[in-house]
Amino acid sequence: MLLTISNEEEYEQAIERLNNLIDEIGTDEQHPLYNLLDTLGTLIEAYEAEHYSIPNCRGSDVLAYLIEEHELSLSDLPEIGTAETIEAILSKEQPLNLSQIQHLAQRFQVQPQVFLN
């Protein structure tokens, strides 16, 4: 098991594992691998905080950064809404709502507060 992330290669591997776990587990906290997903998210969060601190910016900016960082398309985030909805959020025409913020925080294993500015 991965207990630390010490370089970019390990970080990329951890992101890939996390995405695979999210695809398999979703939000099922009773799933036997949920603790692994949670731990891996914490390790990734710690690495990102040290190496990729996000400056104080708007929630839409954080979302744009995460989409780019994880190489996602707008259709990869159906829990947020349609591609048109996500485009409106990214162009700052529409704010993120509480439900979207909660889904994004869980998906990317970050604190909801990063989307509140």
* CA nearest to 25, candidates 42, 15, 38, 12: 38
Domain that holds residue 36: 1-53
Residue predicted with more confidence, 83 or 27? 83
Percent of the chain with pLDDT over 90: 39
Mean confidence (pLDDT) of the chain: 87
* CA nearest to 110, candidates 18, 32, 17: 18
User: Do 33 and 74 belong together in one domain?
Assistant: no
With a cut of 90, say whether residue 11 has pLDDT above it.
no
**Residue finishing a domain among 53, 77, 92:** 53
**Span 101-114, average pLDDT:** 89
**Residues 32-85: pLDDT tens digits?**
988 888 888 888 888 877 776 656 678 899 999 999 999 999 999 999 999 999
What single-letter amino acid sits at 106?
Answer: Q
With a cut of 60, say whether residue 114 has pLDDT above it.
yes
Instruction: Give the CATH number of the domain where residue 87 resides.
Output: 1.10.260.40
Asked if residues 116 and 101 have their Cβ atoms less than 8 Å apart, the reply is yes
With a cut of 70, say whether residue 2 has pLDDT above it.
no
